[in-house]
Structure 1
Amino acid sequence: MHKLEFNFGELSFNKFFPFFILIDPNLSIQGIGKSLAKIAPQIQITDSFFNHFSIVRPYLEELSYTTLVENQNQLIILKLKNDEIVLRGQLESLDQNLLFVGTPWFVSMEQVLDRKLTIHDFALNDPLLDLLHVLNNQNNTTQELKESLITIKEQSKRLENKSEELKRLSLVASTNENGVLFTKPDGTIFWCNEAYMKLTGFSKEDVIGKTPIEVGRTEFTDRESLRTMAELFFEGSIFDLEIVHAKKDGTYFWTRTKGQPIVDSFGNVTEYFAIIEDITLKKHYEESLKKEKEKYSSIIANMNLGLVEVDQNENIILANNSFCKMSGYTQEELIGRNAPKLLKIDAENKELNTRIENRKQGISDTYELNVINKNGEKRHLLISGAPNYGINGEVVGSIGIHLDITDQKKQEEQLYLLSLIAEKNLNGVLVCDKIGRIEWANSSFLEMTGYSLNELIGQYPGALLNGPETNPETLEYLKNCIIEGLPFSCEIKHYTKYGEKQWVSINGQSLYNKENEIIKSFAIIENITSRKELEELREELLESLAVSNKELEDYAHIVSHDLKSPLRSIHSLLSWIKEDNDKEFSPQTLSYFSMIENKVEKMDYLIEGILTYAKIDKIHITNEKIDSNEIIENIIQIIDIPENAQVVINNKLPIIRGDRFRVQQLFQNLISNAINHNDKAQCLIEIDCKESNENYIFTIKDNGPGISKEQQQGIFTIFQSYSKDEKSTGLGLSIVKKVVESYQGEIWIESELTKGTTFFIKLNK
């Protein structure tokens, strides 16, 4: 989950905490709430904090910035010097400063009115507002009681019998809903009303003759509060405090206890009465409210969601920084503007109009909405909206929390598309959890295996699908790859639900979250049974072909030997006949003999070429470093080059890797062809090479007759010859092509009739 963060300006912050104080490390005041400034106008920015405030609670031996920092996250009670105002709250760090957030503690409405404070000077969520209402009611009650007591006093002057006076007073106290006690000057109780006994569970016998402290004290009662009450009592002063009071069953409840002395005409205290009000619910409410405030403050402080407050006309009143970033507008550009118009929402948008009406009816809800920000970008927002209430409980607008889910919506669309692709894939698709248990399979996989989805979910594929011929090493490989989060690719035999054996190809990998933790894995399973059967058949055919090739090769050697032997004999016999009968044969006969010799030589070249072509991919290939420059120069030395022909090496040729015999065959055939088929008075063959990161490209260029476009397609075909030379066998370029292909290279030509031909040979490094 993303970290939440709120950013408030001073105006917005004052709405929640109008009595705050901002203190820097030098204990100088850097800011105060608007309501605190109103009741203490003597405080100036940069004044020393301790010049205006003293700390009542907790007790601090040393008044310094460090001790204040150490007392964060607990109740702090401040007293404004030269005034009776008490502030209750807590300290929080804010960058290098300390922020005191709290509220004043007034015990009567007179204190509020004397300082010209109104309800608008308090935060709307401040429990003190409720407390002041309670105080006002209690003051009214106390005033009424005082008036009753005055009446009783006046009556007591007219009545000589004091018991009659107490009787009448007891009638007044008895009708009070709160507990009422009367004590003697020494503090012992001599009367209590029914409400007090109902609140505490004590009987009159449990109470009469004891002091209120003896009756009400518990282990949870604050000793300091007891001491304060006792001191005020024996001073004959009024007291009003909140304190825990015991019940007979051992439990306790929170009370607001107000005491009032009764004096005679000489001002001497003759009796004391106290009103005990049960404020347990109020205390629980205050505690709950405090927790809610703390939680709300924490949410505000860490919130990175967009917060917007609008009035009944949808005009923006408040917007936080996150919403500014989300919308692209500044706060100045947002405040006072109509939200739907600013975000280019259609006025007829039924979704939004329904939500606006819901707010007016006091209904909260969540919905999604498409908007356009300041930059013209379409954004998709998730909005949680709630009505905003005024001080009198009426709906005055609404508050919305906005989350930009544009990226999530795109991901949802992509995931939906991927799920469609996966479902419609002809191959099986499996999705497993991080330890390899199946979570989902597409219909192709179900059809492939015969299992239903319910039968597959939660199962390990290996345990469910393996069988007698399943390779255990491949299973272990898959298991390790999934656990370690590695991609995997293999072929394995598995078995369908009905025991049918299948060859499958499995390719897959793990999926990670943003914390780089494995969350799932997926695999694509292809049924390759038919392909495997073909491969097995191919292997059988290859083995059979290898045997046949060996037999053919042996046969070729035998045939070539048997053919070459009579050819050599024929050539020798022709030579002997010509030598022995040189003068007896006519010129025509001698020309016939020459033709026979030429045919015999061509036949010999043809047999030799066939053997060479057949042996190219049969002989052992060495892979050594070869100086191609040296190879070309050796070829130039050993082949027959006419006086009108010239072979030129244009630059230093590279050192390549290969088989020396094959490389020599390659270049010798090309150079010989270029010389033998040249029709120019001056024959020129140019050899060059260009090198790249991946390969070498050699060129053999001649200035011969050229090759037509039609003939270029077939020049590398075996026995195909376009030369008029009787000795041409049509095998030379076929041998060249076969050598190049044995090195996974390429060969092609560029040629134009009468202007020559260039052969290109690409050999990989």
Structure 2
Amino acid sequence: MSGLGLYFNEESFNRLFPFYFQLSPDFRILNFGKSLAKVCPDLEKENLFTDFFEIVRPHIKTISLEEIIKNSDQHILLKYSKTELLLRGQFEQTGDSLLFVGSPWFTSMSEVIDRKLTFEDFAHNDALLDLLHVLNNAENTSKELKELLLTINTQKNQLKKDKEELNRLSYVASANKNGVVFTKLDGSIFWCNDAFLALTGYSKSEIIGRTPIELGRTMDTDKEEIKKMIDSFYAGKSFEVELLHARKNSTPFWSRVKAQPITDSQGNAMQYFAMLEDISLKKRYDESLEIEKEKYRGIIANMNLGLLEVDLNDKILMANQSFLDMSGYAIEEMVGHKASGLFLTQESKKILQSKDRLRSEGISDSYEMNVKDKNNEDKTWLISGAPNYDVQGNLIGSIGIHLDITDQKEQEQQLYLLSLIAEKNINAVIICDPSGNIEWANTSFLKMSGYTENEILGKKPGKLLQGADSNNETVTYMSEQIAKGLPFNCELVNYSKNKEKYWVRIQGQALYDKNGVIIKFFAIEEDITAWKVLEEQKENLISDLAKTNKELEDYAQIVSHDLKSPLRSINSLISWIKEENEKDFDEQTMKYFSLIEHKVEKMDHLIEGILTYSKIDKEVSKGENVNTNDIVKGIIDMIHVPEHIKVTINNPLPIIKADRFRIQQLFQNLIGNAVNYIDKESGLVEIACEEFSSHYVFSVADNGVGMAKEIHSKIFETFKAYTTSKHSTGLGLSIVKKIVLFYKGEIWLDSEEGKGTTFFVKLKK
């Protein structure tokens, strides 16, 4: 490789070896790579190497410069003491300093994710990426590539001073079993190793001066991969592609091509080098592996048992559909999370710790576990757990097969409770065989039915107890449920031995053995005769009350109509008298007529208020979406607001579920009251609302006359008016409170004489 010039700056060195560090002769850290800084966050320049790192392999009794140089021809395994991270690589002496070039030793992609590393944190040629994608031969290839790049980078800094380093790089590239080529910026090859010749079948003279595209393209080569190569090449970027590569003898092979620009001190590309690897065997292996994986993936996905895979840190890697159905979670809600944090109770976590110890020893077993599903419901799972290994035989986690046995456990508990009920219960209890014949009954049943034990054994309960008034639909329902082996719950008329009729509430259920076969039926009968009598009386009272309320409502309608009719006549007569005798009446008489008109108007308002008050909780609520902001604005436009009074809405009011008419009545009374009782030259009414998690609190505030504290609790009483205002009927606030109570809300006020009043209304969302 005489005359070849390779140039590296710190940026390109970092791209090639992002996990390097450089040591001074006294083992102080002089510099380290950008990605090493991410996985070793406590590392700083001038730190002592031995304070942070331990040489795990090979074993070195005393760490010294001589010992490390002596082992520089082999891989070194380091452990970062702060996080137990393992680094593997090689030391090389560069002048007075030592250079370590390597990469982390990860066994799963989750470790990369946990340390917040991305693809850009690794050199594009780093074999660790291939290892994480389960490529069997990636480790050897990555090792050779790193050695090659390490040699290239070392020679970049010392090429002008040390010709021996250049020869070393040439030797490594030449000896590499993968094909290596160097190209100019126009893409023409100016050097290749023997492995490249062997892979392609060309001679060196047939290769030099031609481009890799010319030599490698076939009719079946993926055009997108070729375009990716060309675009990256002319952009001065590294790239990695897998494509079908040509041979001279026209027999193509699958190849992986990794390429990297060689830059000058300004970062400009000067040359390109590429490595060509034959991956035909790997491709065939991957295809076979994918077929097998797809086959087992289908089996796992469709199996009735829940399958869960976790790593050594209990983080979920995979779950099948049955497990998702059992747990209630979606797959994206579980992957990457700790299983113990999602499902286990504190007691179960202790059990899991003992199981983790068994897995670490390679032991499989089965056990029951109390868990919580996504809905926080208690479940019992039967779990068969086994250790999980990678292709190298290293323990990487565990796999569990899960069966939900909640129903079975509940049934066991029910059987235990039933045994207590049968023994202690004051209600009647009977147990029947699978054919429905009575095998046992408690004392309460015998007392309730009037039969003796000998008279009931071997008989069917229906034939003994049912009669003319026993509802046929209920009897059919019980028979169908029993035939299906399902629980039943109903009320039925039974007859005692002496033909006395009594009501019972019956609860029954089938009992199963471990194979799901019905072995018994049991039923509990509660005598509800007295309750039925009371229920019938209650229904009669409700019916009578409904009839009375309807009559009162009709009466209120009639009375309001009959009272309003003469009031309208009186009002018309007064108007006619005033019009016909306007010049004959003196001022005092006209005042009397005005007073009569006001009283008539007040009487009309009072009648309307009584009618409204009586109908508030009688009408069916529509339950529509009501925009209270629009309701309040409409009221402000509708009512008479004197010019000296300003009515404002302080913040947007919400949309609530209610009846529009009732809400309008509520706010119209509150806002109308506020306007009517302002005695200031500059009046102000402010409407606002505050939202809480389950309710809203509306407020209507004024700067009017206010009220004394001793009447605060009385103002909502019907027909109670604590003002001399001509507008007061004593019903406005009573109507407001009745509407609020209709919606199960609350109303209260804050008021002070001379300063004003604020009413608060709390309504549920």
- Shorter-chain TM range is 0.3 to 0.5
Give the TM-score normalised by the residue count of structure 1.
Answer: 0.39
Give the TM-score normalised by the residue count of structure 2.
Answer: 0.39
